[in-house]
A = this chain, B = another copy of it.
């Protein structure tokens, strides 16, 4: 239990720094969020609304946005919905997204990352993070 201690303290730091409070709801949502790689607010709502003390959908939205501000999550728009990606889960994986069926494949490519660094250096930038999404058709949808 609690290899997620790092993320929990990261959230507590953010809360303290901004005069926000650690609530039962925020803890529950964080625990559920850290277990998944990426979720929508609806998915998380269906998952958590079964539990004993009900958590409202508005709170889910607010909390996932809070996670984004705290750097724990990253929002990504896909097919009229917002996916909240777990930043700690991705050692640095990017996404292949099928525009047909919505399937998402995660990948990691060191060569691409090296070239990104090179592009940044040539332009006087130092990279903090990046987002790479490849959209196309998977084998099943291409037929």
A residues contacting B by CB (< 8 A) are 76-80, 82, 96, 98-99, 105, 107, 109, 111-112, 115-116, 119-120, 123-139, 142
Residue in contact with A109 in the complex, picked from B80, B82, B119, B129, CB distance below 8 Å? B119
Contacts of A120 in B (CB 8 A): 96, 134, 136
Minimum CB–CB distance from A41 to chain B (whole Å) comes to 13
Contacts of A128 in B (CB 8 A): 99, 135-137
Kindly list 12 other residue pairs between chains A and B, CB separation below 8 angstroms, not including A125-B138, A128-B136: A77-B77, A96-B125, A99-B128, A105-B123, A105-B125, A107-B123, A125-B134, A126-B142, A128-B135, A130-B135, A131-B131, A132-B133
Residue in contact with A77 in the complex, picked from B79, B98, B124, CB distance below 8 Å? B79
Contacts of A82 in B (CB 8 A): 80
Minimum CB–CB distance from A136 to chain B (whole Å) comes to 4
- Is the beta-carbon distance between A124 and B139 smaller than 8 angstroms? yes
Closest to A139 in B: B124
Residue in contact with A115 in the complex, picked from B98, B115, B124, CB distance below 8 Å? B115
Interchain CA distance A112-B139 in the complex, whole Å: 22
Closest to A116 in B: B134
Contacts of A96 in B (CB 8 A): 119-120, 123, 125
Contacts of A79 in B (CB 8 A): 77
Minimum CB–CB distance from A137 to chain B (whole Å) comes to 5
